[in-house]
Amino acid sequence: MGKIAFVFSGQGDQYPGMGKDLYEQYASAKSVFEQCDRLRPGTSRQCFAGSEAELKETKNTQPCLFSVEFAAAKVLCELGIKPDAVAGFSLGEVVAATFAGLVDPEIGFRLVCRRGELMQEAAEKHETSMAAVVKLTNEQVEKLCSHYAQVYPVNFNCPGQVSVAGLTEEMAAFAMDVKEAGGKAIPLKVKGAFHSPFMAEAATVFADELSKVAFKKNDVTLYSNMTAEPYGDNAAELLSKQICNPVHWESLIRYMIASGVDTFIEIGPGKTLTNMIGKIDSAVKRYTVSDLSAILSEVKPC
């Protein structure tokens, strides 16, 4: 058997009630939620009973997803499933970095709370939105974006899927261009043009926050959204710049597979990353946290 990777999901898969089953069944998960509640009162309530609209607010989404994902990862470790490598999509990269040991959980959670606040503040300054463009090549999407002043390709997810962010007033026309080219633009459940120049101010302020953090050496190999390669000693730079730069997810996954990873476990409330990885390489094994029984029976514990 090859290497195991935990991949932590980003915004978009959140839903009311997420994480409640983990909280109720596992002491390790309950401990994570309780710590998050001490640092940010009401986090568990938002996860378990918050409305879809409440969870869609970036300042809420990010800390809530952190708590669910970190709790799920701890449960897997408790059950003997530990990764050889980790990565996270956008927000998930902060969770992955925390899990990998770059920072203590309390610092990681505080950072993700601040990140969510800054990105929401940046998003509220402009009417922006995001969409996943499917059925077109990366090059086709990049060419269509170049026809607009403020529409950007921001997430290179998998073959035939690129997320785009931009001014809402331009996105409608862009979607029509996509349709005419034979593709489809699917609106995403986020509020803001993430990983685009609209997030530059948030990235700058977050960089200042990160400059105050004493990063430690990671315990497992951690991959970067921005470079698609393992982290070096530049964690603050990578975590700040990824806010306003594209996520190279397909390249990242291909790098992990080339390094020996053949089993991916998605850590999060959905299966978005699992689906993407299947389109990148259908031969690798893919699981979500909801597949816990399958993971325990098919993945060799460490």
Is 147 an active-site residue? no
pLDDT of residue 191: 79
* pLDDT value of position 301: 62
Domains, the chain, ordered by start = 3-124+196-298 (3.40.366.10), 128-187 (3.30.70.250)
Active site residue 90: yes
pLDDT for 292: 87
Residue 1's pLDDT is what? 62
215-228 confidence digits (pLDDT tens)? 999 999 999 999 99
Q: Which residues contact 10 (CB under 8 A, 6 or more apart)?
A: 65, 88, 89, 90, 91, 92, 272
| Sites in the chain below the pLDDT cut of 50 | none
Query: Among residues 195, 196, 240, 248, which one is catalytic?
Result: 195
| Catalytic residue chosen out of the listed positions 90, 129, 224, 240 | 90
Q: Is the pTM of this model over 0.75?
A: yes
